[in-house]
Amino acid sequence: MRSRDGNHSFSRRLSVVLLFSLALPLSASEYLISYRYVIKDALLYNESLTISQAMQKCKGSPYRELILENDASKDLKKIINQNSETFINYLHKLGLSVEHTEATVNAQNKSTTTLTLKTQCFKVDFNDNFARISPLK
């Protein structure tokens, strides 16, 4: 917009404000996270958490956010390792697929239970004091 005296400062300020307001939501990083937990014969056999930065933009809107304490780090693996119990409980609430097999041979019972979070895209906003993690749906 141009003012009557020909000054373009208002339009410049408006464009700068719009640019920053559009850029702020885009500052979040997107990560692909998968989790697998295997129990064999009532003992923990294997647990794996895989985290990698998304190479392409993920589609979806964030929901059910989790806020983890952060010490000004931008390393998601480090933040999750520091808050591993909270994050694993959060994954359980999101919903894991369960696969269970059981067999009895010669009076010996053998069982295997596998909990899996298939690879899912998460939006992560880093701050000085916390990291906000939200899956995309």
Whether 2 is covered by a domain: the verdict is: no
Residue 107 has pLDDT above 60, yes or no: yes
Residue 8 has pLDDT above 90, yes or no: no
E strands, 27-88, where? Answer: 29-40, 43-53, 66-69
**Predicted confidence band at 121 (pLDDT cuts at 50, 70, 90)?**
very high
**Predicted confidence band at 66 (pLDDT cuts at 50, 70, 90)?**
very high
> Is the distance from CB of 134 to CB of 120 less than 8 angstroms?
no
Whether 37 is covered by a domain: the verdict is: yes
Helices (runs of H) and strands (runs of E) counted in the chain: 3, 6
Whether 42 is covered by a domain: the verdict is: yes
Whether 60 is covered by a domain: the verdict is: yes
Whether 121 is covered by a domain: the verdict is: yes
Whether 11 is covered by a domain: the verdict is: no
Domain with 39, as residue range(s), is: 28-135
* Average pLDDT taken over every residue of the chain: 83
Tell me what pLDDT residue 18 has. Answer: 42
Whether 3 is covered by a domain: the verdict is: no
Mean pLDDT of 26-55: 90
Percent of the chain with pLDDT over 90: 58
Tally of domains within the chain: 1
Whether 93 is covered by a domain: the verdict is: yes
